[in-house]
Amino acid sequence: MPPETPHPLEPDLARQQRLLAARATHWRRTRRLTFVLMALWLATGFCTVFFARELSRVTIFGWPLSFYMAAQGASLICLAIIGVYAWRMRRYDRDLARTMADGTRVAGGVAHGAAK
Amino acid sequence: MNRQNRYFRRLSGYYAWFCVCFAGFLLALTVLENEGMPRLWIGHLFMFATIALYATIGVVSRTSNVTEYYVAGRRVPAMFNGMATAADWISAASFISLAGGLYLSGFDALAYIMGWTGGYCLVALLIAPYLRKFAQYTIPDYLAVRYGGGAGGRGGPVRALAVGATIIVSFIYVVAQIYAVGLIASRFTGVDFSVGIFLGLASILVCSFLGGMRGITWTQVAQYIIILVAFLIPTMWLSAKHADNPLPQVAYGSVLPKLAQREAQLALDPREHEVRARFQKEADVYKERLAALPASWEQGKVEAQRRLDTARLRNLSLADVRSAERALAAYPKTADDADTLWREQRARLLARAQPPQPHAAPFAGATEAESNARRNNFLALVFCLMFGTAALPHILMRSYTTPSVHETRVSVFWTLFFILLIYLSIPALAVLAKYDIYTSLVGSDFSSLPTWISYWGNIDKVNPLIQVTDINRDGLVQLAEIAIDGDVLVLATPEIGGLPYVISGLVAAGGLAAALSTADGLLLAISNALSHDIYYKIVDPGASTQKRVTISKLLLLAVAFIAAYAASQKPADILSLVGAAFSLAASALFPPLVLGVFWKRANHAGAIAGMVSGFLVCLYYMLRVHPMLGGRMDAAWFDIAPMSAGIFGVPAGMLAVVVASLLTAPPARGSDALVDYIRAPE
């Protein structure tokens, strides 16, 4: 039996609840990731500008740090944030797909055994 | 997956061929230039060859299928979608004016770099994947379905408001792009400004009219490649020249300290002091005349009249009489006019009387408070540009075109990657060009000025792009004697660096590509909003797909001509509002877009209240403060410039969504299910 097909005897309600719980977990993880990355984004942008005068005394490879951050650093951090987001979300999406497939198979097996 | 891979490989093959042909074209022109082909021909060839290229791509990808026309069949691979979005994004302003802005204002102009890249975090994390999951055609579509309400719960009012915001924002923006097309065409090919506009329009129309989103996507990829090559070649050349390293993004760090040293030297130079003192004196004359208004105005008028009379009586040369006539004609008509005009002139003179500001120093100001005000304005501008980016319909629309939600996320990554290839070199170009001008032009002899100065100085007689006048008559160029318009920097970089004219033609083609690609996307956003959201969803829901596409094409034609007509009038007020488009977009569209995904309780009333109050607060602040709209800077809140009105508009919009939603009944159950659906992965 292919794992995607639900067992005919499995109660529809339980299956639906499991599905909802898995989705809720996925959304919770998405939200947490979004929140963390947005906080990082805000911190980079805000600190670069707000403390620019203080940071300009520090120099790296010729650039005053504040100039470097505003011209390149902040943008590169944004690129990294978007990259991390795409990568993590792909994993969350796959996790969810696997949980749902597993859940169906396990549940199907149990129900099958009970029927015997 | 396999089919997608094959498609991706086929596309890569096409564009590899395109790159090879383009390189061949450049080589051929270089050879021809060496053989003595005139400059004007090179300009013409570049302009017509690229426009023909875009038209060909448009013809090849013509379509009348609804999904192909509106969202390119939802099968554009992430990387190509990223390239197309980057071309959509890099407007004439980024390509031509941004480096000049950095040259003129140093650190403070970095707000544009930060804002225009940081906004993609908001797009990627808060909006794009959810729009793709929703999988319809336009931004108003999403808002209308999410918030419902109106007759039959179809979300008519929300849709109409979103369409209104889309059109206002995109129209202001598209007029500026078409205006830039006219400028570039007329500067490089010598055709008339309006002829340039209509030439550009022809190419815009062929690809968007025939192919819709599909046509412009494939054109934009080609345009991105041209933009990239056109920007990087001269910048890398300058970088190799001044830093011995052809990677400008890395190399200019070593030029910055040298530039700072030169700036400090020029600030103390006695000859510079002399020139600046002259400007200060002239400014002081205006100050006295301003203080003595209106008597000084009358006196000045009498004097101008008398000068003309004496010129005529004494039979001076015709040129003298003409200049006296012009002076009288240009003399302010009333004392009030004199007040504004003289204030402007005094400000201009005062600006030139200032010593050069250190390029890398943030928020230079005479006092702590002034410096803080500049910091706050920088923050506000970054905020508005970021949130505006995340609410511009022609950018968001592109998230519908990828094959899956995951591809959309990756596509935003590619978008920012491709944008950064150019944006990271813009500050580099500004520093390198500044160093070049400060070291080789300043201090040189007036008798041996480089030819590019006279060439670019004569191209626009009314507002010269660059002007070098020997004010203290010592025969040497002082920094304070150079008046430079930011736009000339990128256009003249090849000549500043001593490259052949072919590269100048290439840069012009790049500027043209930047303006055309953005105009393409914007026109499509406007005509889709009109045809899909107004015509199909509100006026005639029973229309056949064939009819919908036809209507859309006709509307595109109409909008394009209206925009071109508006641009050909050279509307100063619209052009000064382009920056404001970001604030308007952010205030009107951002709150309902984001809260629609992240807050289930947001309802129909909240969305309407949010859009209306965000937009109105933003508009009110601009009218209150923007001098072009009759406001005064004295009325500003916290010294924030009118362009950054979104800093008040976005919170107002957010607040209005929350308050109005909580005061009214929760949304219908259908909207809960919809939100769950768009949050869930595929």
pLDDT, one tens digit per residue, over B524-574 is 888 888 888 888 887 778 878 888 888 888 888 888 888 888 888 877 666
Q: Which value does ipTM take for this structure?
A: 0.86
As annotated, the residues of chain B forming the CATH 1.20.1730.10 domain(s) are 2-244+382-429+501-570
Choose the weakest-confidence range: B144-158, B160-174, B422-436: B144-158
CA distance A72 to chain B (A): 6
Q: What residues of chain B, 570 to 609, have a C-beta less than 8 Å from chain A?
A: 598
Question: Model confidence at A110, in pLDDT bands (50, 70, 90)?
Answer: very low
Predicted confidence (pLDDT) at residue A83 exceeds the cutoff of 90: yes
Q: Which amino acid is at B226?
A: I
Question: Model confidence at B1, in pLDDT bands (50, 70, 90)?
Answer: low
Average pLDDT over residues B198-208: 79
CA distance B256 to chain A (A): 6
**CB B113 to CB A71 under 8 A?**
yes
pLDDT at A108: 45
Reduced to 3 states, what is the DSSP secondary structure of residue B105? Answer: helix
Predicted confidence (pLDDT) at residue A112 exceeds the cutoff of 60: no
| B360, B409, B598: residue with CB nearest A56 | B360
Q: What residues of chain B, 395 to 424, have a C-beta less than 8 Å from chain A?
A: 405-406, 409-410, 412-413, 416-417, 420, 423-424
Position with higher pLDDT, B453 vs B650? B650
**In A, which residues are within 8 Å of B249 by CB distance?**
72
Which among B416, B599, B600 is the top mutation candidate for probing chain A, defined by the most A β-carbons within 10 Å of its own β-carbon?
A: B416
Residues 6+ apart with CB under 8 A from B220: B83, B84, B85, B87, B88, B517, B520, B521
What residue ranges do the domains of chain A occupy?
Answer: 25-101
Choose the weakest-confidence range: A58-62, B52-56, B587-591: A58-62
What distances in angstroms separate CA B383 from CA B355, B369, B390, B583, one per listed residue? Answer: 30, 21, 11, 9
pLDDT at A115: 39
* Minimal-distance CA residue of chain A relative to B678: A27
User: Is the CB of residue A104 less than 8 Å from the CB of residue A4?
Assistant: yes
**CB A82 to CB B124 under 8 A?**
yes
Q: For residues A2-31, b (16+ Cβ closer than 10 Å) or e, as one string?
A: eeeeebeebeeeebeebbeebbeebbebbe
> Exposed, middle or buried: residue B209 (CB in 10 Å: 0-12, 13-18, 19+)?
buried
User: Is the CB of residue B387 less than 8 Å from the CB of residue B581?
Assistant: no
Strand partners, B468: B482
CA distance B649 to chain A (A): 19
pLDDT, one tens digit per residue, over B111-132 is 899 989 999 999 999 999 998 8
Predicted confidence (pLDDT) at residue B186 exceeds the cutoff of 70: yes
Average pLDDT over residues B240-244: 82
Residues 6+ apart with CB under 8 A from B530: B163, B167, B552, B555, B559
pLDDT, one tens digit per residue, over B206-223 is 777 888 888 888 889 999
pLDDT, one tens digit per residue, over B97-112 is 888 888 888 888 888 9
Predicted confidence (pLDDT) at residue A113 exceeds the cutoff of 70: no
* Minimal-distance CA residue of chain B relative to A96: B681
pLDDT at B179: 85
Average pLDDT over residues B275-283: 83
Q: Rounded distance, CA B142 to CA B132, Å?
A: 10
Which among A49, A56, A94 is the top mutation candidate for probing chain B, defined by the most B β-carbons within 10 Å of its own β-carbon?
A: A49
Q: Rounded distance, CA B514 to CA B504, Å?
A: 15
pLDDT at A2: 45
Choose the weakest-confidence range: A76-80, B513-517, B625-629: B625-629
Size of interface A-B (CB pairs under 8 A): 136
Residues 6+ apart with CB under 8 A from B191: B185, B199
pLDDT at A103: 61
| B117, B125, B676: residue with CB nearest A37 | B125
pLDDT at B682: 75
Q: Rounded distance, CA B430 to CA B436, Å?
A: 10
Chain A residues with CB under 8 Å of a chain B CB are: 23, 26-27, 30-31, 34, 37-38, 41, 45-46, 48-50, 52-53, 56, 60-64, 66-68, 70-72, 74-76, 78-79, 81-83, 85-86, 89-90, 92-93, 96-97
**CB B427 to CB A83 under 8 A?**
no
Residues 6+ apart with CB under 8 A from B254: A61, A62, B243, B245
**In A, which residues are within 8 Å of B259 by CB distance?**
none
Q: Rounded distance, CA A48 to CA A69, Å?
A: 6
Predicted confidence (pLDDT) at residue B516 exceeds the cutoff of 70: yes
pLDDT at B416: 93
Q: Which amino acid is at B170?
A: S
What distances in angstroms separate CA B325 from CA B163, B304, B306, B307, B309, one per listed residue? Answer: 51, 9, 11, 9, 10
CA distance B123 to chain A (A): 9
Predicted confidence (pLDDT) at residue B414 exceeds the cutoff of 90: yes
Question: Model confidence at B469, in pLDDT bands (50, 70, 90)?
Answer: confident
For helices B545-568 and B156-189, what crossing angle results, to 10°?
50
CA neighbor of A86 nearest in space, from B411, B596, B595, B389: B411
pLDDT, one tens digit per residue, over B303-327 is 888 888 887 777 777 777 777 777 7
pLDDT at B358: 81
Which among A79, A95, A99 is the top mutation candidate for probing chain B, defined by the most B β-carbons within 10 Å of its own β-carbon?
A: A79
Question: Model confidence at B386, in pLDDT bands (50, 70, 90)?
Answer: very high
CA distance B373 to chain A (A): 11
| A76, A81, A93: residue with CB nearest B681 | A93
Q: Rounded distance, CA B182 to CA B190, Å?
A: 11
Q: Rounded distance, CA B625 to CA B584, Å?
A: 15
Q: Which CATH number fits domain B2-244+382-429+501-570: 1.20.1730.10, 1.10.10.10, 2.40.40.20, 3.90.420.10?
A: 1.20.1730.10
Backbone angles phi, psi at B482, to 5 degrees: -95, 120
Q: Which two tokens stand for residue B419?
A: 């944008």
SS3 readout for chain A? CCCCCCCCCCCHHHHHHHHHHHHHHHHHHHHHHHHHHHHHHHHHHHHHHHCHHHHCCCEECCEEHHHHHHHHHHHHHHHHHHHHHHHHHHHHHHHHHHHHHHHHHHHHHHHHHHHC
CA neighbor of B32 nearest in space, from B538, B496, B500, B665: B500
| A56, A74, A79: residue with CB nearest B362 | A56
The secondary structure of residue B246, as a DSSP letter, is S
Question: Model confidence at A109, in pLDDT bands (50, 70, 90)?
Answer: very low
* Minimal-distance CA residue of chain B relative to A49: B379
**In B, which residues are within 8 Å of A57 by CB distance?**
none
pLDDT at A11: 66
User: Is the CB of residue B266 less than 8 Å from the CB of residue B442?
Assistant: yes
**In A, which residues are within 8 Å of B677 by CB distance?**
none
Q: Rounded distance, CA B395 to CA B220, Å?
A: 13
Predicted confidence (pLDDT) at residue B251 exceeds the cutoff of 50: yes
Chain mean pLDDT for chain B: 84
